[in-house]
Each structure stands twice: as C-alpha cells, then as structure tokens.
Amino acid sequence: MNWARHPTGVALAITGLTVTGLALMLTEGPTWKVAGFLLAASPLAAGLAAYWVQRRRG
Amino acid sequence: MTRHAPPRTWTAGTTPLAAGRFTTSRAFRLSLWLHRWTGLIAAPFFLILCLTGTILIFHEEIDEALGYEAQIEAPPPGAAERPLAEIAALAAAAMPGRNPLALVFDQQHPERVTVSLVEQGERGFDTAKPMVFDRFRGTPVEAPDPRSTPTGIVLTLHANWFLGLPGELAGGVVALLVVICLVTGIVIYGPFIKGLAFGMIRRGRGERLRQRDLHTFIGTVTLGWALLVSATGVTLALGDIALKVWQATELRRLAATYGADRPVTGEGASVDAVRAAAETAKPGWRTSLMLYPGSAFSTQRHFTVLLVGPEGLQKRLFEIALVDAADGRVAEIATLPWYLVVTQLSQPLHFGDYGGLPLKLFWTACAWFTLFITANGAWLWFARRPSRRARQTA
C-alpha cells in the first residue's frame, strides 16, 4: 500500500499495528510480549528509517 | 490542528479531481474545523498531561532514587507469614481511634501488606491512612503515604488537577477532545500528503511547509499510540463513575440477595479465615484487596475480596468474592461487569507500565513526538494569522 496514494488506509493500518502490538503485550507470555513490542514499535521505527532515507536523498 | 489550505498542485499519479472535490466538501471542512479547534483548546492541558505523564512512566525509578520506596529485608529462610489478624490489630493499636478499612496486597512485593485505616464511621478511602507491614515479621515498615510523595502529587495533578471527581471529568473532556482531534486528523490529512513519499519532509520551500510535513508525518507514525492513550484517558476519567454504578447496582444486588443488612455481632470469622475461604473457592487466584464489612465497597455483613488470576489477562482482571464475616463462607464469586473490565484494562494501556524499560522508552518517545505535533500544530495556526491579515488588507 502506497502512502501517497492511500493515505487514510496507511494511517489506519499503522494505527492497527500499534494498537494490536500494545494489546498483545498485555498477555504475559514472553514471546507475545516481544512480538507485541516489535509490532507496536514498527511504525515508529519505519518512520525513522524512512525519514533518514529521504533526508539522505535530499 | 492546523489551519492551512490543502495543496493546490498535485503530482503525477494522484487524483487531483477527486481530492479537489473532497477538500471542498462539507465533511472535509467540518473535520478541519473540529481538528483545528479541539487541538487548540486541548493543547495547553495536553502539554501538562504529557509532561506529568512522562514523569509518571518512571515513577518507580524516581521513588526509588528519592528514597520513597519502602525497604523490606528478605524474609528469613523458612519463615511463615504472620497472621493478617495480628497485623491488622497492630495497625489499629498504632493509630488509636481508627479501624482497618482494607488490606492491600502488592503482587510485585508479596513480602508486604498495607493496612488502610479510617476513623469510626468513615466508609471510603478519602481520609484513609495507610500503614505498610512486613508480612513475615509483622513489623511496621516506614513508608510515606503514596499520595504525598513527589510522584504521588504529580499523579494527582495528572489524574484530577487537584479537583477530585470534577477534575477527573475535566481531564476526560480533554482526552475526548484529543480523540476527536486525532480522528478528524485522519479524515483531513490525505490531501496534504498526496504525492509525498513516506518520510519526506520538504525543505527550502518555507518553514510553514516543512512544519506541516512534520505534523502529518509524525502524526501518522504516532497515531495508534496517541489514540490508545487518549481513549483510555477517557475511560479512566470515568472510572470513579463506573465504580459508583457498580456500588449502586451489583453491590446492592449482592446485599439484597444475601441479607447483608444485618451486621455481624460477636467475634465472627478471622480475616485470615476469610482470605483462605476466598482463595479456596477460586483455586490458583490470589487475594489482591480485602475490604472490611461496612466499607463503601462491601456490605454490612460481608468482606469483599478481590482476587487476581494466575496468568495472562486474568492477572489484570479481578473476580469479586463476597465472604460472610460471621462464618467465613463464600456467598458468591462475581465477575467484573464490562464497564469495570474496560477501566481495568485501560490502566496498563494508558500508563505503559507492563513491558519494562523498552516500553517505558517507547511511551516516552511517543509522548514527546505527540507533544511536538501539538505544539507545531498550534504554531501552524498562529503562523497562518499574519498572512490572513495581509490577505484581508490586500
């Protein structure tokens, strides 16, 4: 899904990732905790990565 | 929260006609108006909530560093817990004129128990004084009232602005404004980023455009967190009302069902027997809180015992055991109604205290990013004003 073409869809998908990840972390199993954290943090991490890539491209 | 016109030029690959129609639609204009004004009204309060929230994320570390954490030595090997009845009697003797209202068990620190004491006739926690005890030695432990520590004061500011229930509800209104601001932000932001690559911030074309790109970009990546924290802020603000609803409905039903208007005369069952009965009735579940008969959350005749489950979500959701104070028999084990389940689950999702340091750092980062877009959204609105005046003059 392309951010520029489907901005609302991407925003909702990103929101879904974060919320699902944080909800998964409520379960006590360590695997779910790690998976949930990775899911929740992925939008932020992807955003930072995309920002640096775009910045380097100028 | 911005007051800006949508871009008039569109790059290849986008659909300018549809977007153009959308930006002139009633839904777009209404959403833009709501986004702008809910954001601007909530901004100063949200600033305080973000700052206090950041402090509260690290309240355990701060309390420990400032020496407000109760220090209890490890129990001697093979030591047995002292009877709770003995600890409650010691607490009552230490505070003449006060009676135990509740026993609070800390799941993170099983070696301690807190006795909340209130004056004769008091039924709620407003004027309660806590005393922490070592459960294995039965000795009082020096620990400040959590409401009077620096982080406790910050929590009161964050939760109710020192105004009690009205302050809580006002905080809920601010959280609701933030939710509306975020949802309307999703509706309106599309046209502003069409044609932009993800992560692209346009430079050299004016500060306003750069700040607007930052606003939409950071807003997108932190949207899920901000929505979750503000929505749980609304539910937590309604937590006291939810508790009052439970008192007026469920607790009243239990009292009517089990003839609870007759107080126990004589000695009755010991607090240890009550706890054992509750835990036996729900194997594997542990006592988290015991409320004495006559409190605002129990009947005249029964102890209310909150039990927490052994694993997963059960650790966060209580079941309520109603135990007869006369003979220590469990009258009923009730599950939480849905509105208290929502309140209970909202707490970790609001405070981010369930994933150790990584989650605390994630919470802090999201809080500060959200704070940044709140501030730069307000700046975008203020920076817009001169150009509007200039346009009017022209």
Instruction: Domain ranges for chain A, please list them.
Output: 28-58
> Which alpha helices (DSSP H) does B202-355 contain, by range?
207-221, 223-237, 239-246, 252-257, 271-281, 338-351
Across the A:B interface, residue pairs with CB atoms under 8 Å apart total 111
Question: For residue range B104-151, what is the model confidence (pLDDT) as tens digits?
Answer: 998 888 889 999 999 988 888 888 999 999 999 889 988 888 888 999
Q: What b/e sequence results for B194-207 when a residue is b if at least 16 CB atoms lie within 10 Å of its CB, and e otherwise?
A: bbbebbbbeeeeee
Q: What is the pLDDT of residue B280?
A: 96
Measure B185 CA to nearest chain A CA, in Å.
10
Percent of chain A's residues with pLDDT above 90: 62
Q: What is the pLDDT of residue B11?
A: 38
Element (H, E) at A16: helix A7-24
The pTM is what? 0.85
Sign of CA dihedral B349, B355, B360, B362: negative
Model confidence band, residue B103 (pLDDT cutoffs 50, 70, 90) = very high
Mean pLDDT of chain B: 88
Give yes or no for a contact between B374 and B46, defined as CB atoms under 8 angstroms apart.
yes
- CB interface of A with B, residues 14-33, below 8 Å: 14-19, 22-23, 25-29, 33
Residues in CB range of B78: below 8 A, 6 or more apart? none
Among A3, A19, A25, beta carbon nearest to B224: A19
Contact A10 B359 (CB under 8 A): no
Residue B240 CB burial class (10 angstroms; 0-12, 13-18, ≥19): middle
For residues B221, B222, B228, B230, the Cα torsion angle rounded to the nearest 10 degrees is -140
Residue of A7, A19, A54 with shortest CB distance to B189? A7
**Helix, coil or strand: residue B332:** strand
With cut-offs at 50, 70 and 90, classify the pLDDT of residue B2. Answer: very low
- Please judge whether A14 and B201 are an interchain contact, meaning their C-beta atoms are less than 8 angstroms apart: no
What secondary structure letter does DSSP report for B337?
A: P
Residue type, B126: D
Residues of B in contact with A37 (CB under 8 A): 355, 358-359, 362
Handedness of CA B195, B201, B207, B211 (dihedral sign): positive
Those residues whose C-beta lies under 8 Å from the C-beta of residue B138, and which sit 6 or more positions away, are B82, B86, B87, B90
The answer to whether the Cβ–Cβ distance between B224 and A26 falls below 8 Å is: no
Single-letter amino acid, residue B209: L
Nearest-angstrom CA–CA distance, B152 and B170 = 19
Residues of A in contact with B194 (CB under 8 A): 4-5, 7
**Nearest residue of A to residue B354, measured between CA atoms:** A26
Look at the alpha carbons of B368, B374, B378, B381 in this order and tell me if their dihedral is positive or negative: positive
User: What is the distance between the alpha carbons of residues B122 and B125, in angstroms, rounded to a whole number?
Assistant: 8
Where in chain B are the domains? 33-63+154-237+353-393, 69-143
Residues of B in Cβ contact (< 8 Å) with A9:
none
Query: B1 near B378, Cβ under 8 Å?
Result: yes
pLDDT in tens, B277-327: 999 999 999 999 999 998 999 998 999 999 998 887 888 888 999 999 998
Q: Does A53 touch chain B (CB under 8 A)?
A: yes
Between the CA atoms of B243, B244, B246 and B247, what dihedral angle is there, to the nearest 10 degrees?
120
